Structure 1
Amino acid sequence: MKVVIIGAGSVGRTIARELASSRHDVTIIDKEPAAMRVASVADAEWELGDACEIGTLEEAGVGGADVVVATTGDDKANLVVSLLSKTEFGVERVIARVNNPKNEWLFNDAWGVDVAVSTPRIMTTLVEDAVADGELVAVLRFQRSGASLMEATLPEDAPIVGAVVSEVLLPPSITLVAIVRDGMPFPADPDLTIDAGDQVILLCAETDNGDLALVEELVSSIQDEDGTEESTD
Protein backbone atom coordinates (compact mmCIF):
# COMPACT_ATOMS: atom_id res chain seq x y z
CA MET A 1 0.00 0.00 0.00
CA LYS A 2 1.27 3.47 -0.86
CA VAL A 3 0.85 6.01 1.93
CA VAL A 4 1.73 9.70 1.83
CA ILE A 5 2.16 11.38 5.21
CA ILE A 6 2.01 15.15 5.50
CA GLY A 7 4.06 16.45 8.41
CA ALA A 8 7.39 15.12 9.67
CA GLY A 9 6.80 15.90 13.33
CA SER A 10 6.69 13.27 16.04
CA VAL A 11 3.19 12.13 15.05
CA GLY A 12 4.03 11.81 11.37
CA ARG A 13 7.33 10.05 11.97
CA THR A 14 5.77 7.56 14.38
CA ILE A 15 3.10 6.61 11.86
CA ALA A 16 5.69 6.41 9.09
CA ARG A 17 7.97 4.10 11.07
CA GLU A 18 5.15 1.70 11.88
CA LEU A 19 3.95 1.56 8.27
CA ALA A 20 7.44 1.26 6.81
CA SER A 21 8.23 -1.60 9.18
CA SER A 22 5.20 -3.40 7.73
CA ARG A 23 6.69 -2.94 4.25
CA HIS A 24 4.27 -0.29 3.07
CA ASP A 25 5.47 2.29 0.54
CA VAL A 26 5.71 5.48 2.63
CA THR A 27 6.44 9.06 1.57
CA ILE A 28 6.77 11.93 4.06
CA ILE A 29 6.25 15.58 3.06
CA ASP A 30 7.27 18.61 5.13
CA LYS A 31 8.01 22.20 4.19
CA GLU A 32 10.62 22.76 6.90
CA PRO A 33 14.21 21.73 6.08
CA ALA A 34 14.87 21.15 9.79
CA ALA A 35 12.15 18.50 9.79
CA MET A 36 13.95 16.38 7.20
CA ARG A 37 15.25 13.81 9.67
CA VAL A 38 15.71 11.17 7.02
CA ALA A 39 17.62 8.78 9.27
CA SER A 40 14.66 8.59 11.66
CA VAL A 41 12.60 6.77 9.01
CA ALA A 42 15.23 5.60 6.58
CA ASP A 43 12.87 3.28 4.70
CA ALA A 44 10.56 6.15 3.68
CA GLU A 45 10.82 8.59 0.80
CA TRP A 46 11.18 12.21 1.90
CA GLU A 47 9.86 15.25 0.05
CA LEU A 48 10.72 18.84 1.01
CA GLY A 49 7.88 21.14 0.01
CA ASP A 50 4.58 22.76 0.89
CA ALA A 51 1.88 20.09 0.78
CA CYS A 52 -0.77 22.79 0.34
CA GLU A 53 0.55 23.23 -3.21
CA ILE A 54 -0.57 20.85 -5.94
CA GLY A 55 2.92 20.70 -7.43
CA THR A 56 4.39 19.31 -4.22
CA LEU A 57 1.69 16.68 -3.96
CA GLU A 58 2.27 15.67 -7.58
CA GLU A 59 6.01 15.29 -7.02
CA ALA A 60 5.35 13.14 -3.97
CA GLY A 61 3.13 10.81 -5.98
CA VAL A 62 -0.15 11.54 -4.21
CA GLY A 63 -1.98 10.63 -7.41
CA GLY A 64 -0.94 7.02 -6.89
CA ALA A 65 -1.47 6.93 -3.13
CA ASP A 66 -3.94 4.60 -1.46
CA VAL A 67 -3.98 6.72 1.70
CA VAL A 68 -3.01 10.28 2.63
CA VAL A 69 -2.47 11.13 6.29
CA ALA A 70 -2.36 14.83 7.24
CA THR A 71 -0.57 15.05 10.59
CA THR A 72 0.65 18.65 10.82
CA GLY A 73 0.01 20.84 13.83
CA ASP A 74 -1.92 23.29 11.65
CA ASP A 75 -5.61 22.48 11.17
CA LYS A 76 -5.89 24.77 8.16
CA ALA A 77 -3.05 22.97 6.41
CA ASN A 78 -4.54 19.57 7.22
CA LEU A 79 -7.89 20.62 5.74
CA VAL A 80 -6.33 22.01 2.56
CA VAL A 81 -4.23 18.87 2.09
CA SER A 82 -7.30 16.68 2.61
CA LEU A 83 -9.38 18.62 0.12
CA LEU A 84 -6.65 18.60 -2.55
CA SER A 85 -5.93 14.91 -2.03
CA LYS A 86 -9.57 13.97 -2.47
CA THR A 87 -10.71 16.39 -5.19
CA GLU A 88 -7.56 16.82 -7.28
CA PHE A 89 -6.03 13.37 -6.93
CA GLY A 90 -8.96 11.12 -6.02
CA VAL A 91 -7.24 9.50 -3.05
CA GLU A 92 -9.58 6.82 -1.72
CA ARG A 93 -8.82 7.28 1.97
CA VAL A 94 -7.82 10.56 3.64
CA ILE A 95 -7.05 10.71 7.36
CA ALA A 96 -6.57 14.08 9.06
CA ARG A 97 -5.36 15.15 12.47
CA VAL A 98 -7.51 17.64 14.40
CA ASN A 99 -5.44 19.85 16.70
CA ASN A 100 -8.07 22.24 18.02
CA PRO A 101 -11.31 20.54 19.15
CA LYS A 102 -13.21 23.68 18.15
CA ASN A 103 -12.33 22.91 14.51
CA GLU A 104 -13.49 19.29 14.61
CA TRP A 105 -16.82 20.09 12.93
CA LEU A 106 -14.94 21.13 9.78
CA PHE A 107 -13.24 17.77 9.34
CA ASN A 108 -15.84 16.00 7.22
CA ASP A 109 -16.35 14.75 3.69
CA ALA A 110 -16.98 18.29 2.45
CA TRP A 111 -13.26 18.88 3.05
CA GLY A 112 -12.27 15.46 1.75
CA VAL A 113 -11.74 13.93 5.19
CA ASP A 114 -12.70 10.26 5.60
CA VAL A 115 -11.41 9.86 9.15
CA ALA A 116 -10.75 12.73 11.58
CA VAL A 117 -8.46 11.98 14.52
CA SER A 118 -8.34 14.34 17.48
CA THR A 119 -4.99 13.48 19.01
CA PRO A 120 -5.73 14.91 22.48
CA ARG A 121 -8.84 12.74 22.74
CA ILE A 122 -6.97 9.60 21.82
CA MET A 123 -4.30 10.23 24.44
CA THR A 124 -5.67 8.40 27.43
CA THR A 125 -4.21 10.70 30.06
CA LEU A 126 -5.88 13.76 28.58
CA VAL A 127 -9.21 11.98 28.30
CA GLU A 128 -9.00 11.00 31.97
CA ASP A 129 -8.13 14.56 32.99
CA ALA A 130 -11.06 16.08 31.10
CA VAL A 131 -13.82 13.50 31.55
CA ALA A 132 -15.49 12.13 34.66
CA ASP A 133 -15.60 8.38 35.22
CA GLY A 134 -18.64 6.84 33.57
CA GLU A 135 -18.92 9.48 30.86
CA LEU A 136 -19.05 8.09 27.33
CA VAL A 137 -16.71 10.02 25.01
CA ALA A 138 -16.20 9.77 21.24
CA VAL A 139 -12.47 9.61 20.52
CA LEU A 140 -12.60 8.97 16.78
CA ARG A 141 -15.25 9.20 14.08
CA PHE A 142 -15.17 7.49 10.68
CA GLN A 143 -16.65 10.02 8.28
CA ARG A 144 -17.60 7.60 5.52
CA SER A 145 -19.55 5.13 7.65
CA GLY A 146 -20.58 7.46 10.45
CA ALA A 147 -19.30 4.93 13.00
CA SER A 148 -17.50 6.14 16.12
CA LEU A 149 -14.93 4.73 18.51
CA MET A 150 -16.04 5.60 22.05
CA GLU A 151 -14.44 5.29 25.46
CA ALA A 152 -15.56 5.32 29.08
CA THR A 153 -13.70 4.80 32.34
CA LEU A 154 -15.77 2.68 34.72
CA PRO A 155 -16.58 3.90 38.23
CA GLU A 156 -16.70 1.32 41.03
CA ASP A 157 -20.48 1.02 40.99
CA ALA A 158 -21.04 0.86 37.22
CA PRO A 159 -23.55 -1.94 36.47
CA ILE A 160 -21.12 -3.92 34.30
CA VAL A 161 -18.29 -3.98 36.86
CA GLY A 162 -17.76 -7.59 37.96
CA ALA A 163 -19.43 -9.05 34.89
CA VAL A 164 -17.61 -10.97 32.19
CA VAL A 165 -17.72 -9.60 28.67
CA SER A 166 -20.13 -12.27 27.43
CA GLU A 167 -22.69 -11.14 30.03
CA VAL A 168 -22.78 -7.54 28.81
CA LEU A 169 -25.84 -7.11 26.61
CA LEU A 170 -25.40 -4.28 24.11
CA PRO A 171 -27.57 -3.04 21.23
CA PRO A 172 -26.70 -4.69 17.86
CA SER A 173 -25.22 -1.41 16.64
CA ILE A 174 -22.61 -1.28 19.42
CA THR A 175 -19.68 -3.66 20.02
CA LEU A 176 -17.26 -3.83 22.95
CA VAL A 177 -13.91 -4.22 21.20
CA ALA A 178 -11.26 -3.76 23.90
CA ILE A 179 -10.54 -2.98 27.53
CA VAL A 180 -7.60 -0.88 28.72
CA ARG A 181 -6.41 -1.80 32.21
CA ASP A 182 -3.43 -0.16 33.92
CA GLY A 183 -2.36 1.22 30.57
CA MET A 184 -2.44 -2.16 28.83
CA PRO A 185 -5.00 -2.98 26.12
CA PHE A 186 -6.81 -6.33 26.19
CA PRO A 187 -9.13 -7.73 23.51
CA ALA A 188 -12.71 -8.09 24.73
CA ASP A 189 -12.58 -11.88 25.13
CA PRO A 190 -15.92 -13.38 26.27
CA ASP A 191 -14.51 -14.64 29.60
CA LEU A 192 -12.66 -11.45 30.55
CA THR A 193 -13.93 -9.97 33.82
CA ILE A 194 -14.59 -6.22 33.80
CA ASP A 195 -13.09 -4.27 36.70
CA ALA A 196 -13.64 -0.82 38.18
CA GLY A 197 -11.24 1.67 36.61
CA ASP A 198 -11.16 -0.19 33.29
CA GLN A 199 -11.46 1.87 30.14
CA VAL A 200 -13.97 0.20 27.84
CA ILE A 201 -13.54 0.84 24.12
CA LEU A 202 -16.70 0.55 22.02
CA LEU A 203 -17.30 0.66 18.28
CA CYS A 204 -20.65 2.31 17.61
CA ALA A 205 -22.40 2.36 14.26
CA GLU A 206 -24.25 5.53 13.37
CA THR A 207 -27.14 5.08 15.74
CA ASP A 208 -29.91 6.82 17.62
CA ASN A 209 -29.54 8.38 21.04
CA GLY A 210 -31.56 5.59 22.63
CA ASP A 211 -28.80 3.04 22.03
CA LEU A 212 -26.14 5.39 23.39
CA ALA A 213 -28.30 6.16 26.42
CA LEU A 214 -28.50 2.43 27.18
CA VAL A 215 -24.71 2.12 27.03
CA GLU A 216 -24.27 5.17 29.24
CA GLU A 217 -26.46 3.49 31.86
CA LEU A 218 -24.18 0.44 31.80
CA VAL A 219 -20.92 2.37 32.21
CA SER A 220 -21.99 5.16 34.57
CA SER A 221 -22.36 5.33 38.32
CA ILE A 222 -25.57 3.87 39.74
CA GLN A 223 -25.71 6.90 42.02
CA ASP A 224 -25.76 9.16 38.96
CA GLU A 225 -28.62 7.16 37.45
CA ASP A 226 -30.65 7.45 40.65
CA GLY A 227 -30.15 11.18 40.59
CA THR A 228 -28.88 11.22 44.18
CA GLU A 229 -26.03 13.42 45.26
CA GLU A 230 -23.48 13.13 48.02
CA SER A 231 -24.15 15.28 51.05
CA THR A 232 -21.95 18.34 51.41
CA ASP A 233 -22.67 18.61 55.13
Structure 2
Amino acid sequence: MKVAIAGAGAVGRSIARELLVNSHDVTLFERKADHIDPDSVPGAKWILADACELTKLEDAQLQTFDVMIAATGDDKANLVVSLLAKTEFAINRVVARVNDPRNEWLFGEDWGVDVAVSTPRLLASLVEEAVSVGDLVRLMTFRQGQANLVELTLPSNTPMAGKPVRKLELPRDVALVTILRGGRVIVPQNDDPIEGGDELIFIAPSEAEPALYDAMKITR
Protein backbone atom coordinates (compact mmCIF):
# COMPACT_ATOMS: atom_id res chain seq x y z
CA MET A 1 0.00 0.00 0.00
CA LYS A 2 0.95 3.60 -0.47
CA VAL A 3 0.90 5.28 2.95
CA ALA A 4 1.27 8.94 3.91
CA ILE A 5 2.27 9.86 7.47
CA ALA A 6 1.80 13.39 8.77
CA GLY A 7 4.36 14.11 11.46
CA ALA A 8 7.88 12.70 11.51
CA GLY A 9 8.46 12.74 15.24
CA ALA A 10 9.31 9.60 17.19
CA VAL A 11 5.83 8.16 16.65
CA GLY A 12 5.66 8.89 12.93
CA ARG A 13 9.12 7.49 12.29
CA SER A 14 8.39 4.33 14.29
CA ILE A 15 5.20 3.72 12.31
CA ALA A 16 7.09 4.28 9.06
CA ARG A 17 9.77 1.72 9.98
CA GLU A 18 7.16 -0.92 10.79
CA LEU A 19 5.34 -0.31 7.50
CA LEU A 20 8.56 -0.44 5.50
CA VAL A 21 9.41 -3.83 7.03
CA ASN A 22 6.12 -5.04 5.54
CA SER A 23 7.04 -3.65 2.10
CA HIS A 24 4.67 -0.67 2.04
CA ASP A 25 5.46 2.54 0.15
CA VAL A 26 5.81 5.22 2.87
CA THR A 27 5.98 9.01 2.59
CA LEU A 28 6.58 11.20 5.65
CA PHE A 29 5.29 14.79 5.78
CA GLU A 30 7.22 17.03 8.18
CA ARG A 31 6.86 20.80 8.50
CA LYS A 32 10.11 21.43 10.40
CA ALA A 33 13.26 21.26 8.31
CA ASP A 34 15.43 20.28 11.28
CA HIS A 35 13.26 17.18 11.80
CA ILE A 36 13.96 15.88 8.30
CA ASP A 37 16.32 12.93 8.74
CA PRO A 38 16.22 10.40 5.87
CA ASP A 39 18.87 8.23 7.53
CA SER A 40 16.53 7.60 10.48
CA VAL A 41 13.98 5.84 8.25
CA PRO A 42 15.84 4.29 5.32
CA GLY A 43 13.54 3.62 2.40
CA ALA A 44 10.92 6.25 3.22
CA LYS A 45 10.24 9.31 1.10
CA TRP A 46 10.30 12.69 2.86
CA ILE A 47 8.36 15.85 2.05
CA LEU A 48 9.08 19.14 3.80
CA ALA A 49 5.55 20.46 4.12
CA ASP A 50 2.75 21.21 6.54
CA ALA A 51 0.19 18.46 5.95
CA CYS A 52 -2.53 20.84 7.15
CA GLU A 53 -2.07 22.94 4.01
CA LEU A 54 -4.28 21.85 1.13
CA THR A 55 -1.87 23.06 -1.56
CA LYS A 56 0.97 21.00 -0.12
CA LEU A 57 -1.16 17.87 -0.19
CA GLU A 58 -2.17 18.65 -3.76
CA ASP A 59 1.48 19.02 -4.74
CA ALA A 60 2.16 15.60 -3.21
CA GLN A 61 -0.80 14.10 -5.13
CA LEU A 62 -2.35 12.74 -1.98
CA GLN A 63 -5.23 11.29 -3.98
CA THR A 64 -2.85 8.57 -5.16
CA PHE A 65 -2.33 7.25 -1.60
CA ASP A 66 -4.27 4.41 0.02
CA VAL A 67 -3.84 5.42 3.67
CA MET A 68 -3.23 8.64 5.60
CA ILE A 69 -1.89 8.44 9.16
CA ALA A 70 -2.16 11.66 11.16
CA ALA A 71 0.56 11.12 13.76
CA THR A 72 1.54 14.59 14.95
CA GLY A 73 1.65 15.55 18.61
CA ASP A 74 -1.13 18.11 18.07
CA ASP A 75 -4.74 16.87 18.09
CA LYS A 76 -5.96 19.93 16.17
CA ALA A 77 -3.47 19.25 13.39
CA ASN A 78 -4.40 15.57 13.28
CA LEU A 79 -8.07 16.44 12.88
CA VAL A 80 -7.38 18.91 10.07
CA VAL A 81 -5.14 16.42 8.26
CA SER A 82 -7.80 13.70 8.60
CA LEU A 83 -10.58 15.92 7.31
CA LEU A 84 -8.58 17.06 4.29
CA ALA A 85 -7.47 13.54 3.47
CA LYS A 86 -11.01 12.18 3.53
CA THR A 87 -13.03 15.05 2.05
CA GLU A 88 -10.60 16.56 -0.46
CA PHE A 89 -8.66 13.47 -1.57
CA ALA A 90 -11.07 10.60 -0.82
CA ILE A 91 -8.41 8.59 1.02
CA ASN A 92 -9.87 5.17 1.73
CA ARG A 93 -8.35 4.72 5.20
CA VAL A 94 -7.57 7.53 7.63
CA VAL A 95 -5.94 6.70 10.95
CA ALA A 96 -5.42 9.43 13.55
CA ARG A 97 -3.40 9.64 16.74
CA VAL A 98 -5.25 10.99 19.78
CA ASN A 99 -2.84 12.77 22.12
CA ASP A 100 -5.31 14.01 24.74
CA PRO A 101 -8.01 11.46 25.72
CA ARG A 102 -10.40 14.37 26.38
CA ASN A 103 -10.45 15.00 22.63
CA GLU A 104 -11.21 11.43 21.67
CA TRP A 105 -14.90 12.16 21.06
CA LEU A 106 -13.94 14.41 18.14
CA PHE A 107 -12.07 11.69 16.26
CA GLY A 108 -14.87 10.20 14.22
CA GLU A 109 -16.54 10.32 10.82
CA ASP A 110 -17.38 14.01 11.08
CA TRP A 111 -13.64 14.73 10.95
CA GLY A 112 -12.84 12.03 8.41
CA VAL A 113 -11.30 9.60 10.89
CA ASP A 114 -11.78 5.88 10.27
CA VAL A 115 -9.67 4.66 13.20
CA ALA A 116 -8.65 6.74 16.23
CA VAL A 117 -5.71 5.47 18.26
CA SER A 118 -5.40 6.75 21.82
CA THR A 119 -2.27 5.57 23.62
CA PRO A 120 -3.72 6.20 27.12
CA ARG A 121 -6.85 4.25 26.17
CA LEU A 122 -4.82 1.35 24.78
CA LEU A 123 -2.61 1.21 27.87
CA ALA A 124 -5.64 1.29 30.15
CA SER A 125 -7.25 -1.48 28.09
CA LEU A 126 -4.15 -3.62 28.38
CA VAL A 127 -4.16 -3.17 32.15
CA GLU A 128 -7.84 -4.18 32.27
CA GLU A 129 -7.13 -7.14 30.01
CA ALA A 130 -4.40 -8.36 32.34
CA VAL A 131 -6.64 -8.52 35.38
CA SER A 132 -10.15 -9.08 34.03
CA VAL A 133 -10.91 -12.72 33.29
CA GLY A 134 -14.48 -12.98 32.05
CA ASP A 135 -14.80 -9.26 31.31
CA LEU A 136 -15.19 -7.81 27.84
CA VAL A 137 -12.41 -5.25 27.26
CA ARG A 138 -12.73 -2.74 24.44
CA LEU A 139 -9.32 -2.31 22.82
CA MET A 140 -10.13 -0.01 19.92
CA THR A 141 -13.09 1.66 18.20
CA PHE A 142 -13.47 1.63 14.42
CA ARG A 143 -15.45 4.44 12.79
CA GLN A 144 -16.35 5.68 16.26
CA GLY A 145 -19.14 3.67 17.77
CA GLN A 146 -19.98 1.43 14.81
CA ALA A 147 -17.59 -1.43 15.58
CA ASN A 148 -15.09 -2.24 18.29
CA LEU A 149 -12.10 -4.51 18.70
CA VAL A 150 -12.85 -6.32 21.95
CA GLU A 151 -11.08 -8.95 24.04
CA LEU A 152 -12.60 -11.63 26.25
CA THR A 153 -10.52 -13.95 28.44
CA LEU A 154 -12.38 -17.15 29.20
CA PRO A 155 -12.24 -18.51 32.75
CA SER A 156 -10.39 -21.80 33.22
CA ASN A 157 -13.67 -23.61 33.99
CA THR A 158 -15.58 -22.24 30.99
CA PRO A 159 -18.39 -24.50 29.76
CA MET A 160 -17.23 -23.60 26.24
CA ALA A 161 -14.08 -25.74 26.61
CA GLY A 162 -13.73 -28.22 23.77
CA LYS A 163 -16.34 -26.56 21.59
CA PRO A 164 -15.15 -26.04 17.99
CA VAL A 165 -15.21 -22.54 16.53
CA ARG A 166 -17.83 -23.52 13.95
CA LYS A 167 -20.34 -24.22 16.72
CA LEU A 168 -20.04 -20.82 18.41
CA GLU A 169 -23.40 -19.10 18.20
CA LEU A 170 -22.15 -15.54 17.92
CA PRO A 171 -24.49 -12.56 17.62
CA ARG A 172 -25.11 -11.02 14.24
CA ASP A 173 -22.23 -8.87 12.90
CA VAL A 174 -19.76 -10.29 15.48
CA ALA A 175 -16.61 -12.00 14.20
CA LEU A 176 -13.93 -13.96 16.07
CA VAL A 177 -10.63 -12.86 14.53
CA THR A 178 -7.90 -14.24 16.81
CA ILE A 179 -7.35 -16.69 19.67
CA LEU A 180 -4.40 -16.02 21.98
CA ARG A 181 -3.35 -19.18 23.80
CA GLY A 182 -0.19 -19.11 25.85
CA GLY A 183 2.49 -17.87 23.48
CA ARG A 184 0.49 -18.75 20.36
CA VAL A 185 -1.52 -16.52 18.06
CA ILE A 186 -4.19 -18.65 16.39
CA VAL A 187 -6.17 -17.60 13.33
CA PRO A 188 -9.36 -19.51 14.13
CA GLN A 189 -10.44 -22.29 11.79
CA ASN A 190 -13.80 -24.05 11.95
CA ASP A 191 -12.48 -27.12 13.76
CA ASP A 192 -10.24 -25.32 16.28
CA PRO A 193 -11.47 -26.00 19.83
CA ILE A 194 -12.02 -23.32 22.46
CA GLU A 195 -10.08 -23.81 25.71
CA GLY A 196 -10.27 -22.35 29.20
CA GLY A 197 -7.93 -19.38 29.57
CA ASP A 198 -8.12 -18.46 25.88
CA GLU A 199 -8.02 -14.77 25.07
CA LEU A 200 -10.53 -14.24 22.28
CA ILE A 201 -10.36 -11.15 20.06
CA PHE A 202 -13.61 -10.13 18.35
CA ILE A 203 -14.85 -7.36 16.12
CA ALA A 204 -18.28 -6.40 17.40
CA PRO A 205 -20.71 -3.48 17.32
CA SER A 206 -21.37 -1.93 20.73
CA GLU A 207 -24.99 -3.07 20.82
CA ALA A 208 -23.95 -6.70 20.34
CA GLU A 209 -21.62 -6.84 23.35
CA PRO A 210 -24.25 -8.02 25.89
CA ALA A 211 -25.32 -10.80 23.52
CA LEU A 212 -21.66 -11.76 23.06
CA TYR A 213 -21.38 -12.24 26.84
CA ASP A 214 -24.37 -14.53 26.73
CA ALA A 215 -23.11 -16.46 23.70
CA MET A 216 -19.81 -17.20 25.46
CA LYS A 217 -21.64 -18.36 28.61
CA ILE A 218 -20.14 -15.59 30.75
CA THR A 219 -22.00 -14.64 33.93
CA ARG A 220 -21.99 -10.87 34.40
TM over 0.5: yes
Structure 2 partner of 1:228? none
- Runs (5+) with no aligned partner, structure 1: 226-233
Matches of 1:176 and 1:184, distance apart in 2 = 16
Structure 1 range deviating more: 78-87 or 31-40: 31-40
Match of 2:3 in 1: 3
Give, in angstroms, the shift of residue 221 of structure 1: 5.1
**1:34 positional shift:** 5.1
Instruction: Provide the rounded CA distance (Å) in 2 between the counterparts of 1:32 and 1:99.
Output: 19
Is 1:214 aligned with 2:214? no
2:109 matches 1:112: no
The corresponding residue for 2:84 is 84
Q: How many Å apart are 1:20 and its aligned residue?
A: 3.1
Counterpart residue number, 1:201: 201
- Between the aligned partners of 2:194 and 2:35, the Cα distance in structure 1 is 44
Q: CA 1:152–1:8 in structure 2 vs 1: closer, same or farther (change >3 Å)?
A: farther
Name the CA distance, whole Å, in 1 between partners of 2:165 and 2:83: 41
Letter in 1 for 2:209: L
Residue in 1 aligned with 2:168? 168
Alignment of 1:4-83 (within 5 A): 4-33=4-33, 35-83=35-83
8 Å CA contact retained: 2:96, 2:115: yes
Q: CA deviation at 1:174?
A: 1.0
Alpha-carbon shift at residue 218 of structure 1 (Å): 4.7
Residue 76 of structure 1: CA displacement? 2.0
Q: Summarize the Cα distance change of 1:196–1:12 in structure 2 as closer, same or farther, 3 Å threshold.
A: farther
- Aligned-partner Cα distance in 1 for 2:34–2:195: 46
Deviation digits for residues 135-168 of structure 1, max 9, x if unmatched? 2233233329933322122333444345332332
1:139 aligns with 2:136: no
| Cα deviation digits, residues 20-77 of structure 1 (max 9, x gap) | 3444332111234454332232211112333223344334332432221112233222
Q: By how many angstroms is 1:111 displaced?
A: 0.5
In structure 2, relative to structure 1, the CA distance for the partners of 1:48 and 1:102 (3 Å cut) is same
Q: For 1:199, give the aligned amino acid.
A: E
Structure 2 CA distance for partners of 1:93 and 1:216, relative to 1, 3 Å: same
CA–CA distance in 2 between the matches of 1:144 and 1:217?
Answer: 24
Tell me the percent identity: 45
One-letter amino acid of the counterpart of residue 127, structure 2: D
| Kept after mapping to 2: 8 A contact 1:165/1:191 | yes
1:99 aligns to 2:99 (yes or no): yes
The runs of 4+ residues in structure 1 deviating greater than 6 Å are none
Aligned length: 218
CA distance in 1, matches of 2:161, 2:119: 28
Which of these residues, 126, 129, 138, is aligned with residue 128 of structure 1?
126
Distance 2:211 2:63 in 1: 44
Letter in 1 for 2:199: Q
Structure 2 distance, partners of 1:34, 1:194, is: 53
Matched residue type, 2:177: V
- 1:215 deviates by 1.2
2: CA distance, partners of 1:18 / 1:129: 24
Seen in structure 2, the aligned counterparts of structure 1 residues 50 and 197 have a Cα distance that, compared at 3 Å, is farther
Cα distance change on mapping 1:174 and 1:48 into 2, 3 Å:
same
Structure 2 Cα separation of the partners of residues 48 and 184 of structure 1: 42
Q: Which runs of 5+ in 2 are unaligned?
A: none
